[in-house]
């Protein structure tokens, strides 16, 4: 008899039950789904189930608001004498108390019922277990149904993987399983069901897609109250997926305490979204964001959030290893700033030997570290300190610049650092070793190391070291390498003479196209050295933009050699420094030939302390050419130029050039 969706009223149900008690009635199936039944009706049905004369085997009461009170009344009929085989109670608002009543009734009479469907109800923490415990009785042939088709398929799949019914679990770990969108949708259906009471879900490295993530998060959103820990680490989550998770965090019914999103490709924009969501969440106490790339802004937002004591969240993991965390804590203490907020790490005042190299490397290798430059100026670098640096250089970091200016390096320290420089993972672009007391012997060790791993280095500064011609020759051998792409070379005050300059320019001539800046100031280059330099400058392969020859004892004659060479290959030169060379007025006249050249695009010309007394020719050259369209700075300080200064000032008045 199918009476689904009928408004029978209590009187109607009672009449039906009385009829079914009649011994001549052989009705076996009664369907009363969605009939708006009351407690009085359930009492009548319980009486029917207890009747010896009833032939009823299949009863469907789905979609009626039984609640626990109704199920308790009905359970009285499931005890003695009941011969019912199938009972359907889908979507009847039954909770944990109702499940207890059913379990108790069936326990007293386990042999009769073979199918019980409780899909769409809420069993609480113990309801499922109480009913499944009945199956331990050998007399019980009961088949329990709690889930819809998709969720049931997921339940069977998960049972096959973990070996237990997930409805009885509080922790589910499906990490490293290739689920695919179809499986994820099934699991989402399982998570959405009230019979699923999981507290911990681990879905690491399952290659979840955007569609799968959306389905999963929606399922958790619809059944949020039990979940305490969610781990989605190792899945690539875009901004849209993070927004979904943040929507979940804002749900007041979602009481998650731990969220792990390690190695999820989360960027700075998503960090901002997360931080905003965290401000409206009262339950989360631990967040793992290790292995993501937030940029400086992302880290700052998270750290600023942690400063506010009104939020419950106190532990945010950003660094992947305890070693990195230890280094970060130490540096934050001695620097007064969190190193995760720095692009430049100035360790000049730190006793570097105290800090373990492996720990510092772990910090700098972490994706949350944005340090690209390390400074250790004015330090006495011990072998231990240099060992720390070597470890850092041998690690895969984003470090691009190492500045050790004015720090004395011992032989052992140079050897340690060179071990790091030789490592193929070292991608250092800038190495500044100005005034480090580097000797000729150390220079050989250094250049040998650089030569073995030279493709990344773009800038080298060895100024102020007495490497002399022998050391310069070692540098020159390095420059000849086809992998050398050095753009800036500074060798100020290295006690180089014409011999060293000749070796250097010869090497540069064999591979000149990358060099953009050359500083040989405070070296006595001599006639031979200047001639070789002129040959380099005149090469059409030279792309030199800045040439500094301050204090090189350049004479008027040598100035002519230089200017003649420059006129042959001038378009690239932007900056020329001939300060502290006594080129005098004749030298200035030679420079005027450069300015008159139509290819001249010189922006800065430094002639400080050059013994110049007359700049009339210079003023006229600037007035008659297009040089002032490019020239931004002209330094004539410490020259006694007398009356011609006014003539030059008049020429420069309406230009953008600054006269010093």
Q: Is the Cβ–Cβ distance between 600 and 594 less than 8 Å?
A: yes
Q: Are 210 and 240 in contact (CB under 8 A)?
A: yes
Give phi and psi for 8, each to the nearest 5: -85, -25
pLDDT at 3: 93
Give, rounded to a whole angstrom, the gap between the first and last alpha carbons of the chain. Answer: 108
50 pLDDT more than 80: yes
Asked whether residue 292 falls in the same domain as residue 183, the answer is yes
- Considering the domain architecture, whether residues 112 and 173 belong to the same structural domain is answered as no
Domain count, the chain: 2
Q: Which residues contact 555 (CB under 8 A, 6 or more apart)?
A: 581, 582, 583
- With 90 as the cut, is the pLDDT of residue 112 above it? no
- Encode pLDDT of 510-540 as tens digits: 877 789 999 999 999 999 999 999 999 998 8
Query: How far is the C-alpha of 198 from the C-alpha of 172, rounded, in Å?
Result: 7
Instruction: In whole angstroms, give the CA distance from residue 594 to residue 609.
Output: 20
**Residue 53 maps to a domain:** yes
In the block, residue with structure tokens 């009486």: 47
User: How many CB atoms are located within 10 Å of the residue 393 CB?
Assistant: 28
Torsions phi, psi for 490 (to 5 deg): -120, 120
Of 139, 202, 209, residue with least CA distance to 169 = 202
The predicted-structure confidence for 567-619, as pLDDT tens digits, reads as follows 988 889 999 999 999 999 999 999 999 999 989 999 999 999 999 999 999 99
> What is the C-alpha separation between 56 and 375, in angstroms, rounded?
88
Of 299, 317, 335, the residue that ends a domain is 317
Instruction: Judge whether 340 lies within some domain.
Output: no
Indicate if the pLDDT at residue 352 is higher than 80: no
204 and 100 fall within a common domain = no
Q: What is the dihedral of CA 36, 42, 43, 47, to 10 degrees?
A: 130
Query: What are the phi and psi torsion angles at 374 (to 5°)?
Result: -120, 130
pLDDT band at residue 317 using 50, 70 and 90 as cut-offs: very high
The confidence band for 633, taking pLDDT boundaries of 50, 70 and 90, is: very high
> How far apart (Å, rounded) are the C-alpha atoms in residues 523 and 536?
18
| Same domain (yes/no): 53, 177 | no
Classify residue 248: in a domain, yes or no: yes
User: What pLDDT is attached to residue 381?
Assistant: 79
* Distance, CA of 534 to CA of 528 (rounded, Å): 10
Residue 251 lies in a domain: yes
Residue 291 lies inside a defined structural domain of this protein: yes
**Mean of pLDDT values over 114-143:** 91
Of 268, 292, 317, at which residue does a domain stop? 317
Is residue 454 a part of any domain in this protein?
no
Same-domain pairing of 101 and 215: no
Instruction: Confirm if 247 and 218 have CB atoms less than 8 A apart.
Output: no
In three-state secondary structure terms, 21 is: helix
Both 266 and 188 in a single domain? yes
Task: Please indicate, yes or no, whether residues 198 and 64 belong to a single structural domain of this protein.
Answer: no
pLDDT at 638: 95
Specify which residues 430 forms β-bridges with.
Answer: 401, 459
- The percent of residues in the chain predicted with pLDDT above 70, rounded, is 100
Please tell me the predicted confidence (pLDDT) of residue 226: 87
Domain, as residue range, for 17: 9-145
Task: Please say which residue of 274, 299, 317 terminates a domain.
Answer: 317
pLDDT band at 462 (very low <50, low <70, confident <90, very high): very high
Query: Is 347 a member of any domain?
Result: no
Q: Which two tokens stand for residue 300?
A: 């700052």
Nearest to 311 by CA among 338, 348, 275, 269: 275
For the domain that residue 18 is a member of, what is the CATH number? 3.80.10.10
- Where would I find the beta strands (DSSP E) of 509-656? 517-519, 546-548, 575-577, 604-606, 633-635
Q: State how far the Cα of 167 lies from the Cα of 153, in Å rounded to an integer.
A: 13
Q: What is the largest CA-CA distance in the chain?
A: 137
pLDDT for residue 94 is more than 90: yes
Is residue 60 located within the same domain as residue 172?
no
Q: Whole-model pTM above 0.85?
A: no
pLDDT at 547 over 90: yes
Mean pLDDT of the chain: 91
The pLDDT assigned to 475 comes to: 94
Tell me the pLDDT tens digit for each residue of 150-209.
999 999 999 999 999 999 999 999 999 888 888 889 999 999 999 999 999 999 999 988
Chain centre to alpha carbon of residue 374: 21
Distance CA 167, CA 152 (A): 10
Examine the domain organization and report whether 53 and 117 are in the same domain.
Answer: yes
Q: Do residue 313 and residue 180 come from a single domain? A: yes
Q: Are residues 136 and 176 in the same domain?
A: no
| Dihedral-angle region of residue 41 (phi above 0 means left; psi in -120 to 50 means alpha; beta otherwise) | alpha
Residues 52 and 111 in one domain: yes
Flag whether 481 is in a domain.
no
pLDDT of residue 354 exceeding 70, the answer is: no
Residues with Cβ within 8 Å of residue 403, at least 6 apart in sequence:
373, 374, 375, 376, 377, 430, 432
């Amino acid at each position: 008899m199918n009476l689904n969706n009928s408004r029978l009223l209590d009187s109607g149900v009672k009449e039906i039950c009385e009829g079914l008690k009649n011994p001549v009635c052989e009705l076996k199936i009664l369907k009363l789904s969605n009939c708006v039944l009351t407690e009085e009706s359930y009492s009548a049905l319980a009486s029917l189930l207890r009747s010896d004369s009833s032939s009823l085997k299949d009863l469907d009461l789905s979609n009626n608001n039984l609640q626990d009170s109704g199920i308790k009344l009905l359970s009285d009929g499931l005890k003695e004498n009941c011969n019912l085989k199938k009972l359907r109670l889908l979507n009847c608002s039954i909770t944990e108390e109702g499940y207890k009543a059913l379990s108790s009734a069936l326990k007293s009479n386990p042999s009769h019922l073979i199918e019980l469907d409780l899909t769409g109800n809420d069993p609480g923490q113990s309801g499922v277990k109480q009913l499944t415990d009945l199956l331990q009785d050998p007399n019980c042939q009961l088949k329990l149904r709690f889930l819809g088709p998709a969720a049931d398929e997921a339940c069977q799949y998960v049972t096959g993987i973990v070996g237990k019914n997930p409805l009885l679990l509080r922790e589910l770990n499906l990490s490293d399983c290739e689920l695919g969108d179809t499986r994820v949708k099934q699991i989402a259906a399982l998570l959405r069901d009230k019979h699923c009471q999981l507290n911990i879900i681990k879905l690491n490295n399952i290659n979840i897609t955007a569609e799968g993530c959306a389905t999963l998060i929606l399922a958790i959103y619809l059944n949020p109250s039990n979940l305490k820990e969610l781990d989605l680490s190792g899945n690539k989550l875009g901004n849209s997926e993070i927004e979904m998770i943040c929507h979940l965090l804002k749900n007041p019914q979602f009481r998650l305490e731990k969220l792990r999103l390690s190695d999820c490709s989360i960027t700075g924009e998503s960090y901002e979204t997360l931080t905003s969501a965290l401000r409206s969440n009262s339950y989360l106490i631990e967040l793992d964001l290790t292995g993501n790339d937030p940029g400086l802004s992302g880290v700052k937002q998270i750290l600023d959030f942690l400063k506010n004591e009104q939020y419950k969240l106190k532990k945010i993991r950003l660094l992947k290893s305890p070693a990195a965390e230890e280094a970060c804590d130490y540096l934050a203490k001695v620097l007064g700033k969190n190193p995760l907020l720095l692009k430049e790490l100035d360790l000049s005042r730190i006793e570097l030997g105290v800090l373990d190299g492996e720990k510092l490397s772990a910090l700098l290798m972490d994706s949350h570290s944005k340090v690209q430059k390390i400074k250790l100026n004015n330090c006495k670098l011990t072998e231990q300190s240099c060992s720390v640096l070597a470890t850092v250089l041998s690690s895969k970091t984003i470090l691009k610049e190492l500045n050790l200016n004015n720090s004395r390096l011992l032989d052992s320290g140079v050897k340690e650092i060179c071990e790091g420089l030789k490592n193929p993972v070292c991608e250092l672009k800038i190495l500044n070793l100005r005034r480090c007391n580097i000797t000729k012997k150390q220079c050989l060790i250094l250049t040998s190391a650089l030569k073995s791993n030279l493709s990344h280095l773009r800038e080298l500064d060895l100024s102020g070291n007495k490497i002399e011609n022998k050391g310069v020759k070692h540098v020159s051998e390095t420059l000849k390498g086809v992998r050398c792409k050095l753009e800036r070379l500074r060798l100020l005050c290295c006690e180089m003479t014409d011999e060293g300059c000749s070796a250097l320019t010869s090497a540069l001539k064999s591979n000149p196209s990358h060099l953009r800046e050359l500083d040989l100031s405070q070296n006595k280059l001599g006639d031979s050295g200047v001639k070789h330099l002129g040959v380099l400058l005149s090469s059409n392969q030279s792309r030199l933009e800045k040439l500094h020859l301050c204090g090189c004892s350049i004479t008027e004659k040598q100035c002519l050699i230089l200017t003649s060479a420059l006129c042959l290959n001038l378009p690239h030169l932007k900056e020329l420094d001939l300060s502290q060379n006594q080129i005098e007025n004749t030298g200035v006249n030679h420079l005027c030939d450069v300015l008159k050249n139509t290819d001249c695009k010189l922006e800065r010309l430094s002639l400080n302390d050059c013994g110049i007394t007359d700049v009339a020719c210079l003023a006229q050259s600037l007035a008659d050419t297009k040089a002032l369209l490019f020239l931004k700075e002209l330094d004539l300080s410490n020259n006694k130029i007398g009356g011609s200064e006014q003539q030059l000032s008049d020429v420069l008045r309406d230009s953008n050039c600054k006269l010093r």
